[in-house]
Amino acid sequence: MLGRLLALVAGASLVASDLFSLSDLNWTVYNRTGLARVPARLPSQVHLDLEQAGIISEPLLGDNDFSQRWIVTENWTYQADLGLFIRNHSLQSNSSRTLLVFYGLDTVATITAAGHPVAWVNNQFQQYVYDITEFLASPKNLDTNLTISFESAYAYGQNVSARADMESQITIDFEWPGVRQFIRKTSSDFGWDWGPAFAPAGIFKPAFLITLSPQGNDSAQVEPAAHPLLLSQAGGLFIEESSLEVSKVGQNPNRRPDESADWLVNVTLAVRSIQADPSPSLTISIPELNIDSGMLELSAIPASTNASTSVSATFMIPDGVPQRWYPHNLGEPKLYNFTVTLAIDGLVPATYTTRSGFRTVYLAQTTYSQQDVEQYGITPGDQWHFEVNGHAIYASGTNIIPFDPFYARISTDKARWVLESAVKGGQNMLRVWGGGIYQPSDELTGGYDFYSICDELGILAWSELIFSDSTYPVNDFFLESVEREVRQNVRRVKRHPSNIQWAGGNEIEPILLLLKQYIGPSFPQRYIDEFVYIFQDFLHDIVMQEQSSVAYTDCSTTNGVLSLEPYILRLGNLTEGHIYGNAELYNYTTSFAFNYSTYPVSRFVNEFGFHSMPSFYSWEEVLESPDDFSFNSTIVMSRDHHPPAQGLDWPNPNAPEGQMQMTVAVEQWLPAPPHTAPPGRQNETFAQWCYSTQVFQALYMASEVAFYRRGSGRGERNLGALVWQLNDIWQGVSWAAIEYSGRWKVLQYTLSNVFSPVIAYPFWVPEQESLEIAVASDRWSDVEGVLQLTWYDWSGRALSSSEHPFGVGALNSTVVHQAQGFQNILPQGANASDAWLRLNLTAQADGQSVTHEHQFVPVSLADANLVDPDIRVTPGADLTFTLSAQGGVAPFTWMDHPAGTVGYFVDAASGKPLNGFYLVPGQDRTLRFVQSAALSKVEDPPAADFVVRSLWNNTHL
C-alpha cells in the first residue's frame, strides 16, 4: 500500500512533481570520520543501511546487540544531492514556495539545505515543516545537498542532563544508563527487560519536498484525495495537520455523554497556503448517509508558508442517522468515509477523504453510590471501567510494545497480523504502552498503519503519552518540546473511533508512591510535586484542550482521582477497605502462582504477566552456533534481560535470576525436561524446555484472567484484564504471546480460550481441598446454559459425568458447582494423581450457541501419573492434520508449523483457534493451519515438516 501511495507522490519525474518523496533521492550515510560511508535509503535507520551495505550483519543475529554498540556512540549524517531540484526551482515562478517536510526524525539532528542551516531538532515524536525556498534559490558555497546530521542520542542525553536546569531524576536504567528521561525518544531504544538497546538514529518516517505554486498542476482535482498530504499535488496548498473528531453535543470526557444528543463532527486543519483568503470555507459530507454539511465558514487564511494557520468547522448530525461503531465482540465496527473540501479563493478546491465512526466512550472513575454498595454487594470505593455507547464493557486484551527495534522496517502487514491475531484471540482492547512509540495512523506519513486497522477490526486502543518508569524534567526547554509533541499526536489520533483514552504515562505514579512509602519522610517531596505538575496539570490540560471525546488519566496504573473537575489525583489518600483505580501484578515466586490471595482484588488490572522462551524456530532465526541451542547457553542467556543489567555489562549479569524463575516454574508445575540433554538430543531437549516455559506462562495467565473475570460478579466488580504482553520486539525471553516472526505462543491460544464470551473455570484452593467452578460472561444480556463435568483417568477412561444448568447475568459471574474435600470432589476410588476433570460449557448468548472447554487437574502436572499418549498424525488436504491419541491422554498437545511459515491452527470443525489442548483417546481432533501469505517465506510447507509434541515428551524424548 505504501508503495502505491508513494507512486502517486513521485509523479512522472522530479521536475514535474509538486509533491516529491525524499525516498527517491540518492542518499548516503556516513559517520563523523567518514570511514563508514555507504548508500542509504529513506525511511531508514543507520543499522539498516549498514546492514544493507554489508558493513554489519542483521542486528538481531547472535550477540550483535552487544557487538554493534559502537553504532550508538557515533554521530551519523544522511546526505542527498538536491541539484536537479534546485535547477528546477530556478525555472519556477517567483511566487512558488518549497517546503521540507519530515514526519519523523530519530532523534537529535541538525538539518542543512543547500549549505544553509535550517533547524536543530531533538524530538522523535514530532513532525517538522520548513520553508526552504530562499535556501534553494541561493546555495551557499555551491553546496546543493540536503544534509541531516544526527548526534548520538546517548551522548546527547549525557550532555543535556548536565544543563543547569536539568535536575536529577528517578529512573529505572535497563541498559544505556542515565539518559532516557532527558530525551524525547522511544524509551525502550535504550533497553528494556524484554528487548535490546540499539538506540537507532535516522530519518525513520517518510519525508517530502512540496512545491506550492499559484497555478498548481495543469489538471484540476477530480476525485477526492486518499490523504490530505496528496492535496499538495494540486499546487498551492499544504495541510500540515488534519484532525476529525466525532463526539456528542456538549460532551465532556469527565461525564457520561447524553446518548440521545446529536452528533458533533469537527474538522480542524493546519494549513499553509500560497494564496490568502479572508473568508475560506469547508464542506463535510458522508456520501453513504447522503449527508452534506453545506458550506461552513472558516476564519481567514493568510498567504503564509513559514507557519501554518489553524481553521476549524463543526456541524451536527441527528443521533439516529449513523450506525454506531462497536468493538468487534459486541457489534459491528462500522466506519464511514468523510469527504472534506477546503475552498480557498484562487486555488482549486481541495478535497480529501478520511474514515471514522460514530461512538461514545466513557471512563467511569467516580465513587460507587451507597445504593450500589448495598444493592449489588460492591465493595466501597471508586469505579474504574470503560463504557462504549452507553454500556459498560469487559475489557479483554493485552499490551502492545514496538513491533521491531527499528521502526523504519515495520510493515503494515506485520502490524495487521498482530492486530488480527488479537481479534482471533478474543481480545477487544490493546494498551499502547507508554515506553514505546506513538503508533501511526497511515502508511503515507507513518510508514505503516496501526490505528486505522484498529478502527477496521473493532479493537479498542488505550493510548499513552510516551513517558515510562521515570520522573521527568519540568524546565521550559523540555516541556515546550513535549507540548508540541503531545498536541500533534492527540490531534492526529482523535479521528479514530478505536481510541478509548489517553494515559499520561506508564507506571510512574505507583513507583513514586512505593518509594515514598519505603523511604519515608526523607523522600524528596519535589519528585511528587513535579509528577503532579506534569501528569495532573500540564499534560491533562493539553489533552483536554485538543479533544473532548475520551478521558485522560495520569498513569497506566493509578489510584484514580479525588476529583475530575478540577482534576485532582488521589495518590496516597486511601481509605482502608475501599477499592480505587486499577492495578497490576508481577509475581516471580512461582510456588504462589496459583494462590488467588496473591492476585489483586481490583476494578481493572491493566498489566500482569510472566516470561517465557520463544520457540525453537525463533531461536533458529538468530542463533549461529550449534552450541547456542541450550537453555543456559551464553547467547540465549544474553537475551534474557529480566532482571535488567541496569548498565552496559554483557551478557546480562542478572539473567540467571530470570532463567531460574522459568526453570523453577516448569519443575514445580510440569514434568520437566532433563537439564542435561541425552546424547544427540540437544535440540529436542532445548525445544521441550522452550515449549514448557510457554505452557507454564499460559497456565498462570489463564488463572489470573479467569480470576479477574470472576470478579465481574464479586465485590470488586472487575471489568478489565489486559495481559502483559501481546507482541515481541526480537527473538528472546519475554512476556509475549506472539513471537517476533508472528508465530503464536501457547499463551496466545490460551487467551483465545479464556477470553471467550462465556467461560467456565475451576478455582482450586489445595490447602482447603476446595473447588469452586464459576461461569463468567462478558455479554450485555443474560446467558443460560449447561456445564458438563467429566472426570477421566490419564489413560483416557471416563470415570464419572454430571450436568449443571446455569444462568449468568449480563457482565457478571456465578458459581455453578462447589465441593470440598477430595472425598467429595474425586470420583469414587480415584486418586488425585490419576484423575483430571474436563469442563464443557454450552450456552445461548446473543441468539447464538457458544461453547467453552477447560480442564482441572487436582495436583501439579509434575505429580500426575501420565500415560504415553502415542499420538498419531494423519495429514489431510489444505494443511489439515487429524491428531489421535492411541495410548493415554496428552495434556497440552502442541503442533508446530515449520520454519519460514507464519500462521495459526484452528479446529477444522468450528474454525476457532486451537492448539495446546488435551487430546483424549477416542476423541480425535482435526486442526487446519491458516497461513499468512504476506508474512510467510515458505508458500507450500510440506506436511512432514509439521511437528507435534505434548508434556509426555518432556520426560520421554
CA 189 – CA 153 distance, rounded (Å): 10
Own/partner contacts of 160-166, CB < 8 Å, gap of 24 or more, are: 163/475, 163/477, 165/473, 165/475, 165/476, 165/477, 166/473, 166/475, 166/478
Helix axes 476-493, 539-546, angle to 10 degrees: 30
CA 877 – CA 308 distance, rounded (Å): 60
CA 854 – CA 833 distance, rounded (Å): 18
CA 595 – CA 353 distance, rounded (Å): 53
Phi-psi region of 469 (alpha: psi -120 to 50; beta: other; left: phi over 0): left
Helices (H), 234-310: none
Amino acid residing at 333: P
CA 44 – CA 58 distance, rounded (Å): 14
Any idea which residue has 506462562 for its cell? Answer: 697
C-alpha cell at 319: 443521533
C-alpha cell at 933: 501469505
CA 761 – CA 552 distance, rounded (Å): 34
CA 449 – CA 414 distance, rounded (Å): 10
The secondary structure element, H or E, covering residue 174 is none
Query: Do 952 and 791 form a contact (C-beta atoms < 8 A)?
Result: no
Q: What is the secondary structure of 679-722 as a DSSP string?
A: TT-HHHHHHHHHHHHHHHHHHHHHHHHHHHHHGGGSTT---EEE
Write the CA distances from 722 to 18, 42, 432, 657, integer angstroms: 46, 36, 11, 25
C-alpha cell at 507: 507506571
Whether 769 is catalytic: no
Cα 333–Cα 339–Cα 345 angle in degrees, nearest 5: 160
Strands 97-102 and 76-81: unpaired
Query: Do 560 and 365 form a contact (C-beta atoms < 8 A)?
Result: yes
Q: Out of 387, 464, 507, 509, which one is annotated catalytic?
A: 507
Question: Which residues fall within 8 angstroms of residue 252, CB to CB, at 6 or more apart?
Answer: 548
Q: For the sheet containing 947-949, what is the strand order? A: 917-919, 890-896, 947-949
CA 799 – CA 849 distance, rounded (Å): 28
Q: What is the secondary structure of 80-120 as a DSSP string?
A: EE-HHHHHHHHTS-TT-EEEEEES--BS-EEEEETTEEEEE
CA 455 – CA 440 distance, rounded (Å): 13
Q: Helix (H, G, I), strand (E, B), or coil: what is residue 249?
A: coil
Cα 367–Cα 389–Cα 503 angle in degrees, nearest 5: 60
Question: Which residues fall within 8 angstroms of residue 525, CB to CB, at 6 or more apart?
Answer: none
Q: Which residues participate in catalysis according to the annotation?
A: 507
